[in-house]
């Protein structure tokens, strides 16, 4: 294995010709396809499972996880939106529906009355913790059991390289271990 290039050249693309205007090769496109296919299939599986067992789409799970890791389990909506790559509109709708279930509450910030903060309720946290069990089992089967430790690290490295500069990836969903002890993941191991 490893027919990869020799010297660790950072930005591919401007090797010899202009980056823009050059079509992708079959091989390049294939790399992209494998990436998209695997994430589609994996997330698809998880999404179906979450809908079956908890009646939520995968995207909501992301919202819940992020909220659970914030101080006070609270986030400004605009923050939450950019971190999770939700539009403000989409987020607003989602919060409404999660509010109906008693999982979150929305409160207007008295200081800046344009802004709104969402808080994950105790009920919401309980639901999340419950959901997380099944999610983790599936994740182990579908993801970790299929990859060697080296592959996981390689994947991690490549994906981290992809993030900077993307949309709201300043403090993205992908940020490392959260500042706050995650209620849904005790120290582990």
Alpha carbons 4 and 57: distance in angstroms, whole number: 38
Report the site for a second copy in 125-154 (rule: CB under 8 A).
Answer: 136-137, 139-154
Q: Torsion over CA of 143, 148, 149 and 154, rounded to 10 degrees?
A: -80
Report the site for DNA in 48-77 (rule: CB under 7 A).
Answer: 48, 51-52, 55-57, 59-60, 76-77
Report the site for DNA in 75-114 (rule: CB under 7 A).
Answer: 76-78, 81, 86-97, 106, 111-114
Is residue 135 within 8 A of residue 50, CB to CB? The reply is yes
Q: Count Cα atoms within 13 angstroms, Cβ side, for 92.
A: 6
- Assess 12 for contact with a second copy (CB under 8 A): yes
CB of 112 to DNA, least distance (A): 5
- Assess 132 for contact with DNA (CB under 7 A): no
Report the residue from 53, 79, 85, 117 that binds a second copy according to the rule CB under 8 A: 85
Which residue has 């299929």 as its token pair?
Answer: 146
- Assess 29 for contact with a second copy (CB under 8 A): yes
16 binds, among a second copy, DNA, none (CB under 5 to 8 A by kind): none
Report the site for a second copy in 33-62 (rule: CB under 8 A).
Answer: 33-45, 62
- What are the Cα distances from residue 172, in Å, to 27, 66, 82, 162? 30, 10, 8, 12
Closer CB to DNA, residue 76 or residue 185? 76
Measure the N-to-C terminal CA separation of the chain; round to a whole number of Å: 32
**Which residue from 60, 42, 64, 57 is spatially nearest to 141, judged by alpha carbons?**
42
107 binds, among DNA, a second copy, none (CB under 5 to 8 A by kind): none
Residues in the site for DNA, rule: CB under 7 A? 44, 47-48, 51-52, 55-57, 59-60, 76-78, 81, 86-97, 106, 111-117
């Amino acid at each position: 294995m490893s027919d990869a290039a020799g010297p660790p050249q950072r930005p591919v693309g401007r090797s010899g010709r202009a980056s823009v205007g050059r079509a992708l090769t079959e091989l390049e496109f294939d790399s992209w396809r494998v990436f998209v296919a695997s994430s589609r299939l994996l997330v698809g599986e998880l999404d179906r499972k979450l809908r079956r067992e908890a009646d939520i789409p995968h995207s909501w799970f992301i919202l819940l996880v992020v909220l659970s890791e914030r101080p006070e389990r609270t986030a400004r909506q605009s923050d939450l939106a950019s971190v999770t790559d939700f539009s403000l509109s989409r987020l607003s709708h989602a919060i409404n529906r999660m509010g109906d279930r008693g999982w979150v509450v929305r409160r207007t910030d008295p200081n800046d009355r344009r802004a709104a903060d969402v808080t994950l309720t105790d009920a919401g946290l309980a639901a999340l913790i419950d959901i997380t069990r099944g999610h983790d089992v599936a994740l182990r089967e579908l993801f970790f059991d299929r990859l060697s430790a080296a592959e996981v690290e390689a994947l991690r490295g490549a994906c981290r390289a992809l993030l900077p500069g993307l949309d709201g990836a300043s403090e993205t969903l992908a940020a490392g271990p959260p500042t706050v002890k995650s209620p849904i993941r005790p120290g582990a191991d």
